[in-house]
Structures are given as C-alpha cells and as structure tokens.
Copies of this chain bind each other. A is one copy, B any other.
Amino acid sequence: MKVYKISEATITRLSIYSRFLKQLLNEQLKTVSSGEIAKGVGVSSAQVRKDLAYFGEFGMRGVGYKVDELYGYIIKILGLNHAWNTIIIGAGKLGSALALYQGFIDRGFRIKAILDIEKKIIGTHMMNIQVDTIDTLAHKVQENDISIGILTVPADAAQEVTDQLVAAGIKAILNFSPKVLKVPDNVILRHVDFSVNLEILSFNLTHDKYMFPFRIDS
C-alpha cells in the first residue's frame, strides 16, 4: 500500500473547495470542472486537479466532477462526515467570541462545555451552555465524549490546562494562548497566532505581492 504525505496547505485548500462546492449544491448545480473550482476559489486548475488526485480519480473526462459526490468525498477526507465535540477553556473575550462563532457550528464542531476560573463568569450562559469551573474539566470531557480542546487562557495558565486536557484524554488541542505548549506525541497541537496573519499582509505591503525581487542573480 502506498501512502501519501499531505501538506497542511492541501488540507486548507480542500476545506476551501468544500465550502465552494456547498455553495454550488445550494445553487443546485450538478457538475463542475476543475477550472470552475479553480476560478471560484482563486487557485490554478492544475492545483485543484493535483489536490484531488491524492485521493483517487473522481473526475469524468470532458464532464468534470459530480458536485454532490465530490463534496461528500472531501467532507469525508476532512473527517467532517460526523460531528466533533469540543470544549473551550477560557471564557474571556476571545473564548466567548469563539463560543458564538457560527462557522464552528456550520462545519459540525459542537461546543459542549466552556470552563473558566473567574467567579464573575462562572454560571453565565453562552449559546445555551453554562460556563462552569475548571475543576469539572475531566468530568466534562468524559461525559460529553470531547475530542478537541480549544484553549484561550492567559499564557501563564496554558501549560497547566493543557496537561489537564491531556490527562482527561483529549486528542487534539487548538491553542490560542501566546505560549509554546508541550504535549505527548499522540496529541495533536495547533497554535493560532493572529499576528502571523498581519505579518503576511506586511510582507505583501512591503514587496510587490508575492514577487520578491530581493536577490539579484549576477
């Protein structure tokens, strides 16, 4: 059996393709070509074909892809053919913004618990979920079959909370705290740093888009 190493960039594009295909489904379109997908999401059609080729042959020569089939297939590849239960740790401004984030619900991510240490916040409601104390972490994870932890606590609390999530059996953590975290090899960790997004803008503002005439070959 041959296995393929898939880059994060490919996964990100698959995610974008699936949103575009969903839109086509809503418009009741039946078939779509790689060129139309490419135009719709702003990449080359060669890129679309390459990304999809990792996962097999589903295009029909001269016709393109069946929209519903391709959509279903990508959703399955992304692991979105079933819902994922998540827990948010840290019910501050960012945590509560994420709790209310419609995009999570639309893509099958269910927030099952929100925890904090702040007495003023505990007991308040966000999206029908009552913010509970951090002491309930292990119980909440097990009770709700939670796979993904979303971390929005301050940097100095982040590692301790991470250790608690790992001990409770969490398999993946999305970290919004400005802190480099350690997790065991079997736990997937992803760090979201908002400033990287601004730095990509500042790079592009500094140079002429992605063309970088910095090194001059003699």
Contact A7 B204 (CB under 8 A): no
Residues of A in contact with B (beta carbons under 8 Å apart) = 1-9, 11-12, 14-16, 54-56, 77-80, 84, 86, 92-94, 96-98, 100-104, 106-107, 109, 147-148, 171-172, 174, 178, 188, 190, 192-207, 209-217
Residues in B whose Cβ lies below 8 Å from that of A107: 195, 198-199
Task: Using A79-B205, A204-B188, A212-B6 as known contacts, say yes or no to A148 and B194 having CB atoms under 8 A apart.
Answer: no
Contact A198 B174 (CB under 8 A): yes
Residues in B whose Cβ lies below 8 Å from that of A207: 79
Contact B199 A78 (CB under 8 A): yes
Q: Closest approach, in angstroms, between the C-beta of A179 and any C-beta of chain B?
A: 11
Contact A86 B198 (CB under 8 A): yes
Contact B7 A210 (CB under 8 A): yes
Contact B199 A15 (CB under 8 A): yes
Residues in B whose Cβ lies below 8 Å from that of A172: 201-202, 204-205
Contact A198 B56 (CB under 8 A): no
Contact B77 A203 (CB under 8 A): yes
Contact A54 B193 (CB under 8 A): no
Distance of A213 Cα from B12 Cα, bound (Å): 19
Contact of A200 among B12, B86, B102, B196 (CB under 8 A): B12
